[in-house]
Structure formats: C-alpha cells, structure tokens
Amino acid sequence: MSQAAPSGAWTELGDGVWVRQSRAYAMNSVVLIKNGHAVVVDPGVLPSELDDLSQFVTSRVPDFDRVAVIFTHPHWDHVIGKPWFPAATLVGHVGLADEIERDEVDIERKAKAYIEGEGGETWRTPFAPFVPDLQLRGTVGHTLGPFPLLSYDIPGHSASQIAVQFPEQGLFLSADTLSDIEIPWLDAPAWIHRKSLESLQRVFEHEHIEVLVPGHGSVARGRAAVYQRVLNDIAYLRKLEERVSQAFKEGLTVEQTQARLAEMDYLGKDAAYAMNDVHRGNVRFTWQGFAERA
C-alpha cells in the first residue's frame, strides 16, 4: 500500500515519531510507528484533519488491530477522533470514561459548534461515549505492541489527565500542560496542578527526555528547553497562589480578586489566542479553593 504524503501540518521528530498540528488551537496529535504497529495520541481536531491522520496511519499500518489510541484527557478536542480508528486499542486514565459520560452532551455541543463555526467544516460523526480497553492509574509502565511507555497522573486541568513518556524515543507528551501558547488551564485550585507539575519536574530531572510535545503549541527540543517549560508553568502557578492568597486574606471577593489579578503578567495575555479568560477562571478556581479551606 502506498504511503500518504504528509502535508505541511506534519513534523517528523525522528525514531518513527510524527506530530500533526491542527488548525484548531494548535492542538498536537502524535503518531508513533514501529514494526508494523502504531500508537496515536489525541487524534484531532477537524474532520478533514482526522481523515488525514487516519490515512497517514492506515498507509503505514493497515491492520487497525495493531493500532492503539491514547486519550490524554476527556476534553472535546482530544476525544472526538475515536471513530477514525475502528478496532484500535483505546487507552486512557481509569477516570476517563466517567468524565466522558458526564460531559457527553457538552463534548458533542462544543465539537459541533467549533467545527461548523470557526472550523468551517461539517460535523458528520456524532460523539459517542466510550470506555478505554486499557485503563491507567498512577505512575505506571505498559507496553503497546513494540512501544514501552510510562504514564503519569497529572490532574489540575482535568481530574483524569495523564502525561505519557516513551523512554526509547526520549519523548514526553504532556497533554494540556507545558505549552508555549497556553498558561496552565485550571479546573481546580492551582495547587493541584502545581503538584502535578512538580512531579513532572522530578521526572525531567531523572529521565532522559529530549523532545516534549504539549497538547497545544510548539514542540520543545533538548533537556534545557523541556525543563524551562515546567519552570515557567510552576512560576505562573506560584505567583497566582500567592496573589490570590493575599487577596483572600484581605477579604476580597472573587470578582475583586479577578479585577486585581488582571494586572498580573502571564503567557498569552492579550495575545491573538488570548489567555485572559483562562487566567480569570484560574483566579476563580484558586479563590474557591481558599474559601473551601477557610
């Protein structure tokens, strides 16, 4: 079978690793190919892009039962690609299926709205909830075909979010963390996300990681660049916690705290892909965390 010629959206990272970046939020889908097996991570986002991804994989690995698809977390842009990989082994956190079931209507609504709006394409494959065949929890090692991997729980953006390391390729996939276009995007108080990142910082100190692919944004290459990403995210969260804590002690309401912390400097502030609303949401989650502790 002939191999599909990759479009400009593809970057070859070597060692049989490819990244395809979506037009939607610069989301990265990763493909690993080795010995007639493939692993696909977070296939997305637009239907035409999923067609391209699926053709890329099929032309190299015709047997779909030799394909595994890993879903790093259940947000809509990361989970809608499943129908493009029938018979693949599905992999995700043990909590993924519950979150997908809870958010099913929301996933469908957001996917359709984006794809038919900004995406300019037709939403033709309604979202159906699914349960991973392989469910991961904690820090755990697994093998998918010829690919040994390690997975890490990294809650804070989603309770069932995982990061995945492929030690043989020196590759680390950090899901929706460690981006160069997004600040940490919280769904819980900042310290939950910070603890996840501090555990990754220790991983980066000990493990040989040469290439980091975040869920959104650019690939980081080389240990120093990878390490800098984790330092940047932790620095943002520390500053956020410190400033929200101070405001909370002074008796400021959540709205007053958001108004005060609008002055904070952070990645993506007033950018074309603006993080201003994300930052406001982060202040709210963190303020609420202090209120629950008080």
* CB neighbour list of residue 116: distance below 8 Å, 6 or more residues apart: 122, 123
Quote the tokens at residue 106: 């929301």
Q: Which residue is nearest to Zn ion (CB)?
A: 75
Closest distance between Zn ion and the C-beta of residue 168, in Å? 27
| Nearer to Zn ion (CB atom), residue 79 or residue 171 | 79
Q: Does 229 bind Zn ion (CB under 5 A)?
A: no
Helices 276-293 and 223-249 cross at an angle (nearest 10°) of 60
* Per rule CB under 5 A, count of chain residues that contact Zn ion: 2
- Choices 74-82, 145-153, 202-210, 271-279; region in contact with Zn ion by CB under 5 A: 74-82
Amino acid at 178: L
Closest distance between Zn ion and the C-beta of residue 247, in Å? 27
Integer Rg of the chain from CA? 19
Closest distance between Zn ion and the C-beta of residue 155, in Å? 12
Q: Does 176 bind Zn ion (CB under 5 A)?
A: yes
- Choices 54-62, 71-79, 200-208, 277-285; region in contact with Zn ion by CB under 5 A: 71-79
Q: Does 75 bind Zn ion (CB under 5 A)?
A: yes
Amino acid at 232: N
**Per-residue x/- track, 124-163, Zn ion (CB under 5 A):** ----------------------------------------
CA distance 117 to 286: 32
Site for Zn ion, residues 272 to 291, rule: CB under 5 A: none
Q: Which residue has the tokens 């929200």?
A: 244
E strand or H helix that includes residue 286: helix 276-293
Number of Cβ atoms within 10 Å of the Cβ of 290? 18
Residue ranges that bind Zn ion, judged by CB under 5 A: 75, 176
